[in-house]
Chains A and B, each alone.
Chain A
């Protein structure tokens, strides 16, 4: 099975900083990669699919890139409301879906 890893597992950054989270697949998954945001005690929210397509209503400071095995989620200017755990998810090869372990983002 394809394994998903994320780095870092957590990070602390200042408001306005550019933040980058990496997601890596153990085998190539083309661009079948989604990103979710989950705030503490809340339901996950879809941010990006197809590696770089922004879901409707998601602020443009969020962006995604990558293909194959290496992907990134970038927050161009971190805001207090972005404090959350971020998960990547591969969705090729159903039913072999998999989420990454998550990256917790905090404000310094």
Chain B
């Protein structure tokens, strides 16, 4: 069974940093591209970042480009999101999600999410 478990969320002040992790199990992690998607409280979905299975291809949404970095450790079956220069509008539940193989950046399996609150 595919499992994705996010961790690392919490309360952080504006301008601060946070590192999210996503632990994967139940599938061959090194074969799958991965994504981070977020959802502000009571709002819709926003895709924010993609990393290919090898880590060679990385994309960001304009809203986080230059502030967030994505990485993965295939040996540890883990995905990461380093978030710097956090703003109030980054407050959201952050989900990690697998990309549907071959199709493109379509989110197939999702974790339960971790809440990031940016507030002073």
Task: Tell me which residues across on chain B come within 8 A of A46, comparing CB atoms.
Answer: 100, 106-108
* Residue pair A32, B44 in contact (C-beta under 8 Å): no
- A84-108 interface code vs B (CB 8 A; 1 in, 0 out): 0001010110110111111000000
* Residue pair B44, A99 in contact (C-beta under 8 Å): yes
Given A36-B45, A95-B60, answer yes or no on A43-B111 (Cβ-Cβ < 8 Å): yes
Bin the interface of chain B by size.
Answer: 20 to 34
Which of B95, B106, B112 is most buried by chain A, counting CB atoms within 10 A of its CB?
A: B106
Can you report 14 residue pairs joining A to B where beta carbons are below 8 Å apart?
Answer: A43-B111, A44-B95, A44-B107, A46-B100, A46-B106, A46-B108, A49-B106, A89-B45, A89-B47, A91-B103, A92-B104, A98-B47, A99-B44, A99-B46
Residues of A within 8 A of B (CB): 32, 34, 36, 38, 43-46, 49-50, 55, 87, 89, 91-92, 94-95, 97-102
